[in-house]
Amino acid sequence: MDPTLFTSRAYGNVVRTPGKFGFYTYLPNPLPRSLALTSAAVSSLSDADRALGRLAGAGRLLPNPHLLVNAYLRREAVASSRIEGTEATMSEVLDAEATGTIGHDVREVLNYIAAMERGLDLIESLPISRRLIEELHAVLLNGVRGGERDPGHIRTSPNWIGSTDNTPATAVFVPPPPDEMQQGLSDWERFVHEQSELPPLIRCALLHYQFETLHPFLDGNGRIGRLLITFFLISEGHLPQPLLYLSGYFEDHKAEYYDRLQGVRETGELDAWLVFFLTAVTTQANDAVARSERLIDLREDYLSRLHGSRSRAREVVDLLLMNPIATTRSVSSRLGITLQGTTNLMKQLANLDIVQPLPRVSGRSNRWIARDLHEALVSPVPI
């Protein structure tokens, strides 16, 4: 790590560890308990609050919010994992969940989904804490790349980021050593639970920055840090349903995402990070509202086509809202009906142009896709 790049001490200091093999590392200051926000940050905060309010309102009005939560979580899992180099696409993940055929990259995404679902189960009884992040980390790295790197445990050795030869000397950033990291993590945890006059979205941006700077695990820090954004907003009462996920924006602006985090450390550019984070909130909240409206419109259209039908095809529509790719076997299992009965339901939906058959794969159950729902989940939507 090049210490000459770190020209500001506003949010931390660069020091050299002792000993013959010492290296430069960054020691972050405790999180600031008060901030004088710039006009740019105030304007971005206002936009983000309005967008988050619209999303919260939309979430309260959804007849079956869990249907969209399931779909949105998969979008977040794919985007967050792709930031870290996983190449699985949304379509591949949906198909894998429907068929049970799971490759290595898809497994990483599914672990992210499992970690989010685990966190959502725990967040009401277990506050954001070291114990929570260790629980999530154990799920995230279970049986996948990096799984040998002490899943579920805070690191007890140094780590570094962006090294060309796997040494701290050439790294872009070297987080604090274990002892100093532990001190910083304790302050981070206190910050989560203290009464604060800072707006929740500002606190959330600070918490994410500090978590990534502390880098408390040997692997998986980015994904855990992005999971915690949603958990924090839910715990603060700012998000009644887990429908806001920022990884899509972070993936689209990956280089800037890393640059803004590093800019706080090197040159004290906290304002630029706050504006970037708040812009991500605004963009993704607006996207979530527009996407939910599109998905609900499609659901209502499909149900209107089924008007008068006494079959269980309406239940299949809701299954498709969670995953627009389905197999005859997966629907049969979810509804507890025979394969022939399921085939009849899928043919009924196909006759109404709600689903279309996908090419048959030898040895696998017939696959079907609701293309409009798939497009609404995978593609950008006008905002």
66-79: average pLDDT: 86
CA distance 85 to 219: 13
Using CA of residue 81, residue 82, residue 85, residue 91, what is the dihedral sign?
Answer: positive
Model confidence pLDDT, tens digit, residues 121-137:
998 888 999 999 999 99
**97: CB partners within 8 A, 6+ apart:** 110, 323, 325
Q: Are 260 and 356 in contact (CB under 8 A)?
A: no
Could you tell me how far CA 280 lies from the centroid of its own chain? 13
CA distances from 317 to 42, 339, 341, 352 (A): 43, 17, 15, 12
73-89: average pLDDT: 91
Sorted by where each begins, the domain ranges of the chain are: 3-290, 306-378
The domains spanning 3-290 and 306-378 adopt the same CATH topology: no
Is the confidence at residue 146, as pLDDT, over 70? no
Confidence of residue 183 (pLDDT cuts 50, 70, 90): very high
**Is the pLDDT higher at 120 or at 208?**
208
306-378: which CATH topology? Arc Repressor Mutant, subunit A (1.10.10)
pLDDT the model gives residue 238: 86
Is the confidence at residue 382, as pLDDT, over 80? no
Strands (E), the chain: 12-16, 24-28, 325-327, 356-357, 367-369
pLDDT the model gives residue 76: 92
Write down the residue that tokens 């025979």 correspond to.
338
301-323: average pLDDT: 93
Please tell us whether the domain made up of 3-290 is placed in CATH 3.30.750.24: no
- Give the global pTM: 0.93
pLDDT the model gives residue 363: 66
Record the tokens describing residue 53, joined without a space.
């309010």
**Is the pLDDT higher at 229 or at 363?**
229
